[in-house]
Chains A and B, each alone.
Chain A
């Protein structure tokens, strides 16, 4: 009897919840349709096939004004990945160095790395991006008086040129900002990962007669890595999401291109859903990749 009543109550609650969600969505859809109609805003994704009418100078695949919006958005996505990829690699390197530095037996090095972490993670990323951009575009020498860094690289207001390839100040500002900020978090992840491996593990390995190098590589590292990997994957995801702040310095990433498209066509609903959809797909892909890697790393 009680079971039965509980069953029906669960059924009623769930029916009510579904009805409430459907009603709320229908209400929003109704309002949106009415507003679009009364303001004469066209809707639909057909605009993706129209000519975009703006150039994207800084991209992997050249994009010019006559080409359609979908190609512009694709170039934007390519730009997001082009800055996030190197940023992830550099964040990992700098973050690992800082994290291990904090665990160093040298008190000065540990303190210095700790100070870096406390300074960079307590200042908003956007502010760091803007500051980098200002330094790169206003305080560097003009192109004619570029700084020469070795034989192959020059650095000036027009950006960094490296073996003939050139990187714009917008790209560099986003890259430096993302790396400096995320490395502070990465350092904490690495420190926590290595710190969580019990000291007794090192001592036991030493008692077995293992050499210091082997202890680190075969005993400590595998255990630390299993703690570090999931947290690092999260950090890489939030780095990729944070790359959307590129809009503040005018680097044409996905969000920035979609924002231009939104302002030109007025298709707010379509452009915002596109941004969200692409980022969700990226998050999902990373989550799946991480699960595969974690399964590979698991003990047999």
Chain B
């Protein structure tokens, strides 16, 4: 049965009287919504950073001037004004390698990540090669969002692998604590782990040892993400056929040799799409760290607008701007991971 694409589409839109009236209703609604949206966002909008003109609009049109005025503070937080090219370059590097890693994930990228991580930390922190030193407390905005997500996942993955192996262990004194940790963390909200990192970690450290808020929040994120990654990895481990383990045992491999060379490479490859999804979730979750006063993208927006009476009324435009950034990154990464999955599924 060869049916042309237009014929199919016509059937799917106007196949029956009910379907046809539904289609017309949706078209009418879309037209109404798009014309009003277009009018607000473009035709009646103010693009120049002119607070006076924006107020005169009285929200009948968008005030994109707020982005023109505040974009560097929104994107890069409290980073010194004259050094803005450094976080910009760092962000571009991270995004480029991130896209590459989702498009064509392979082991060799680990080295690329090591180099980029070093370059990014050097760019942000400075203090060498003629770059002025910038303390971590002034880092913020989009590069901080990316840095927290990447470092969070990089730290959580080894811990998650160990927890997953531990939970599957035949020894109860190992499997029970690992299982308990995973379920405990998955049962509580991220905010409570960030409170733990921010209020309790200083108490846990030996006297005389202190840690900056960035490090503490990162530990909180890692402890949280590890529990979820452990379940993802466990899913991969369960999908590796039992015969693989038996054959490795028949070859005389010990437990760690079997896991390292036989089971884990297969399990992680199987779990890769789910791991990519976890990473996308982590990007969204980093927005929560603003609750404990770390100014990543969401926090940087609040920082840029909340204290400025001229621009405060145009928070909505600011929210839409950073929502678009989050959306672009998360949507693009999820599409890339889907493409990767499809490509791999093909024989």
Contact (Cβ within 8 A) A107 B13 = yes
Contact (Cβ within 8 A) B171 A14 = yes
Asked whether A112 and B26 contact (CB < 8 A) given A17-B174, A122-B331, the answer is: yes
Q: Which of A86-94, A195-203, A271-279 forms contacts with chain B?
A: A271-279
Q: State the Cβ distance, A84 to closest chain B Cβ, in Å.
A: 12
Contact (Cβ within 8 A) B315 A134 = yes
B287 contacts which of A13, A108, A124 (Cβ < 8 Å)?
Answer: A124
Q: How far is B313's CA from A199's CA once the two chains are assembled, in angstroms?
A: 53
Interface presence of B9 (CB below 8 A): yes
B171 contacts which of A13, A112, A126 (Cβ < 8 Å)?
Answer: A13
Q: State the Cβ distance, B273 to closest chain A Cβ, in Å.
A: 15
Contact (Cβ within 8 A) A247 B27 = no
Contact (Cβ within 8 A) A31 B207 = yes
Contact (Cβ within 8 A) B316 A131 = yes
Interface presence of B85 (CB below 8 A): no
Interface presence of B334 (CB below 8 A): yes
Q: How far is B202's CA from A28's CA once the two chains are assembled, in angstroms?
A: 11
Interface presence of A242 (CB below 8 A): yes
Against B, the Cβ 8 Å flags (1 = close, 0 = not) of A101-131 are: 0000111110010000011001111111011
Against B, the Cβ 8 Å flags (1 = close, 0 = not) of A127-143 are: 11011001100110000
Interface presence of A32 (CB below 8 A): yes
* Chain B residues whose CB sits within 8 angstroms of the CB of A108 once the complex forms: 13, 22-23, 26-27
Contact (Cβ within 8 A) A31 B205 = yes
Q: How far is B193's CA from A276's CA once the two chains are assembled, in angstroms?
A: 9
Contact (Cβ within 8 A) B188 A241 = yes
Q: How far is B26's CA from A138's CA once the two chains are assembled, in angstroms?
A: 31
Against B, the Cβ 8 Å flags (1 = close, 0 = not) of A252-273 are: 0001000100100000110110
8 A-B pairs besides A17-B171, A268-B199, A272-B196 with CB distance below 8 A are: A106-B12, A107-B13, A128-B323, A244-B189, A262-B195, A275-B188, A275-B189, A276-B192
Q: Which of A181-236 contact B (CB under 8 A)?
A: none
A127 contacts which of B12, B13, B204, B326 (Cβ < 8 Å)?
Answer: B326
Q: Which of A33-41, A50-58, A156-164 forms contacts with chain B?
A: A33-41
| Chain A: number of interface residues, binned into ranges | 35 or more
Q: How far is B252's CA from A138's CA once the two chains are assembled, in angstroms?
A: 70
B326 contacts which of A107, A124, A247, A283 (Cβ < 8 Å)?
Answer: A124
Q: How far is B313's CA from A84's CA once the two chains are assembled, in angstroms?
A: 30
Q: How far is B298's CA from A127's CA once the two chains are assembled, in angstroms?
A: 7
B203 contacts which of A36, A109, A279 (Cβ < 8 Å)?
Answer: A36
* Chain B residues whose CB sits within 8 angstroms of the CB of A118 once the complex forms: 331
Closest 9 pairs (CB-CB, A-B): A14-B173, A283-B187, A268-B199, A244-B189, A124-B287, A122-B330, A107-B12, A241-B189, A124-B284
* Chain B residues whose CB sits within 8 angstroms of the CB of A275 once the complex forms: 188-189, 192, 195
| Chain B: number of interface residues, binned into ranges | 35 or more
Asked whether A31 and B189 contact (CB < 8 A) given A13-B171, A17-B177, the answer is: no
Interface presence of B200 (CB below 8 A): yes
* Chain B residues whose CB sits within 8 angstroms of the CB of A293 once the complex forms: none
B202 contacts which of A35, A123, A139 (Cβ < 8 Å)?
Answer: A35
Q: How far is B172's CA from A21's CA once the two chains are assembled, in angstroms?
A: 14
* Chain A residues whose CB sits within 8 angstroms of the CB of B174 once the complex forms: 13-14, 17
Q: How far is B189's CA from A275's CA once the two chains are assembled, in angstroms?
A: 9
Asked whether A130 and B298 contact (CB < 8 A) given A107-B9, A259-B195, A269-B203, the answer is: yes
Q: State the Cβ distance, A236 to closest chain B Cβ, in Å.
A: 13
Contact (Cβ within 8 A) B319 A127 = yes
Q: State the Cβ distance, B327 to closest chain A Cβ, in Å.
A: 5
List, sorted by A's number, 7 A–B pairs whose CB atoms are closer than 8 Å: A13-B173, A14-B171, A15-B173, A119-B327, A123-B327, A134-B315, A276-B184
Q: Which of B168-213 contact A (CB under 8 A)?
A: 170-174, 177, 184, 186-192, 195-196, 199-200, 202-207
Asked whether A135 and B207 contact (CB < 8 A) given A107-B9, A109-B26, the answer is: no
Interface presence of B36 (CB below 8 A): no
Interface presence of B154 (CB below 8 A): no
Q: Which of A1-52 contact B (CB under 8 A)?
A: 10, 13-15, 17-18, 21, 28, 31-32, 34-36, 38
Contact (Cβ within 8 A) A105 B12 = yes
B204 contacts which of A10, A31, A245 (Cβ < 8 Å)?
Answer: A31
Interface presence of A149 (CB below 8 A): no
* Chain A residues whose CB sits within 8 angstroms of the CB of B27 once the complex forms: 108
Against B, the Cβ 8 Å flags (1 = close, 0 = not) of A266-300 are: 00110110011001100110000000000000000
Interface presence of B59 (CB below 8 A): yes
* Chain A residues whose CB sits within 8 angstroms of the CB of B15 once the complex forms: 105
Interface presence of A248 (CB below 8 A): yes
Q: State the Cβ distance, A165 to closest chain B Cβ, in Å.
A: 28
